[in-house]
Amino acid sequence: MTAPKKLFIKTYGCQMNVYDSERMGDAIAATGYVSVDTPDEADLILLNTCHIREKAAEKVYSELGRYRKFKDANPDLKIGVAGCVAQAEGEEIIHRQPMVDLVVGPQAYHRLPEMLAKVDKGERAVDTDFPTEDKFDHLPRGPKARRAPSAFLTVQEGCDKFCAFCVVPYTRGSEVSRPPQKLLTEARDLVERGVAEINLLGQNVNAYLADGWTLAKLIRELAKIDGLERIRFTTSHPNDMDDDLIAAHGDVEKLMPYLHLPVQSGSDKILKLMNRKHTAADYLKVLDRIRAVRPDIALSGDFIVGFPGEEESDFQATMELCEQVRYAMAYSFKYSARPGTPAANRVTVDEDVSAERLQRLQKLLTTHQTDFQQSMVGKTLPVLLEKSARDPGQMVGKSPYLHAVHCQADKNLVGKIVNIKVTRSERNSLVGDLVV
């Protein structure tokens, strides 16, 4: 009997890439591969890449260089590049790194079995199309194995907003929403396999619209599934937070009190240069409406510092917005030009100035995160236990507010929602005692 071939997938970037890697693994498994945890034992290495961060493509080429030793040791080893860098770079990847055998964009990975068949014949395979067929309809289903208690479910892909700094419309394509009945079926399947929490994913998830269903309607229907205890969604655009979705935060008990709603800047001038199509005041009004229906909601955001044209007064407007919102968690980055985007050729802010501003912003955001976590001390929170930590007997789970919570508990409680009384706050997590 021939031994199965071995697959190693390395995933970069967002939760959507994590979901995509799982589905690519399903597609490749249908051709006889089994997954392994390290590249040195693999017959196929697949990099699922992200194009959002600075010098993303160069980092992929650097990673490929580190894999050359595996190719030298095993000439039959196949190497592929998938995801958004693959979409953006296309055949250039093979030109610059000839040891790469296949390149596949994020909308075409359901074609991986056919691409691998070409590679097995000694050919190179490149597919960065935006196919008319729905890739989800063509992906094989894996075995009914147990899943971790929390799972991702992609409901929407692509973006039509065309923010001046963002490559998503060019690498993921225009907004496409998956049919609601298929999503309900997939959600029920996840629950049958042990999932208690589903995080709905999309590049612009609250723009979901399929068969007359909005994201709010989808959430309300998902909440009717027995055994599904928690629902989350990410990432959203402020302009798509409609009345019904805001109301859902108040009347759908299973929808967790956590919302990631990026604003990027507190300056109206910079928001206009970014093509965000909202003002700081618009954004704050949305937050006020959400807090009116769910006062305890934990808010998260994204910020870009040093965007072309940003002056100190613009940066101060961002700091003032953060002081007003007081985010429970936030992500902040220096601007880095993405080739092909409208802002790529604009005059940049001095690197040292951007770095100093980022340091100030991150200090403020850390203070607010610390304050929010400290406000949890002494409270009893329902925590979905997901896994054991390194210490014997210690478990880690998620609070409703997406905190990582550590506690001493029996491993048989994985997948259960238990009450934890928080005793202290650490840098990026909480610690507490199991309430029995």
Residue 432 has pLDDT above 90, yes or no: yes
Per-residue model confidence (pLDDT) at position 130: 64
> What does each C-alpha distance from 68 to 79, 90, 172 come to in angstroms?
10, 20, 29
**Is the four-CA dihedral 165, 167, 170, 172 of positive or negative sign?**
negative
Please compute the mean of the pLDDT values over residues 38-46 and round it to a whole number: 93
The CATH number for 145-256, chosen from 3.30.750.210, 3.40.630.180, 3.40.50.970, 3.40.50.300, is: 3.30.750.210
Categorize the per-residue pLDDT at 131 as very low, low, confident or very high, splitting at 50, 70 and 90.
Answer: low
Where, residue-wise, is CATH 3.40.50.12160 in the chain? Answer: 5-127
Please compute the mean of the pLDDT values over residues 166-184 and round it to a whole number: 90
Q: Are strands 394-398 and 380-388 parallel, antiparallel or unpaired?
A: antiparallel
Return the residue matching tokens 């479910």. Answer: 153
Q: Looking at the domain covering 380-434, what would its CATH class be?
A: mainly beta
Categorize the per-residue pLDDT at 138 as very low, low, confident or very high, splitting at 50, 70 and 90.
Answer: low
Per-residue model confidence (pLDDT) at position 136: 61
pLDDT in tens, 374-410: 999 999 999 999 987 667 678 999 999 999 999 999 8
pLDDT in tens, 269-324: 999 999 999 999 999 999 999 999 999 999 999 999 999 999 999 999 999 999 99
Per-residue model confidence (pLDDT) at position 132: 52
Per-residue model confidence (pLDDT) at position 23: 82
Whether the CB-CB separation of 305 and 134 falls below 8 Å is answered with no
Please compute the mean of the pLDDT values over residues 77-99 and round it to a whole number: 88
Tokens of 311: 């002056």
pLDDT in tens, 176-188: 999 999 999 999 9
Please compute the mean of the pLDDT values over residues 322-346 and round it to a whole number: 94
Tokens of 378: 């002494």
Per-residue model confidence (pLDDT) at position 408: 93
Q: CB under 8 Å to 307, separation ≥6 — which residues?
A: 165, 264, 265, 270, 273, 274, 335, 343, 349
Cis peptide leading into 128, omega within 30 of 0?
A: no
Fold of 5-127: Rossmann fold (3.40.50)
What pTM, to 2 d.p., does this model score? 0.80
Helix, strand, or coil (residue 301): strand
Per-residue model confidence (pLDDT) at position 140: 58
Amino acid at 93: I
Rounded to the nearest 10 degrees, the angle between the axes of helix 112-120 and helix 15-29 is 60
Residue 16 has pLDDT above 80, yes or no: no
Where, residue-wise, is CATH 3.30.750.210 in the chain? Answer: 145-256
Categorize the per-residue pLDDT at 255 as very low, low, confident or very high, splitting at 50, 70 and 90.
Answer: very high
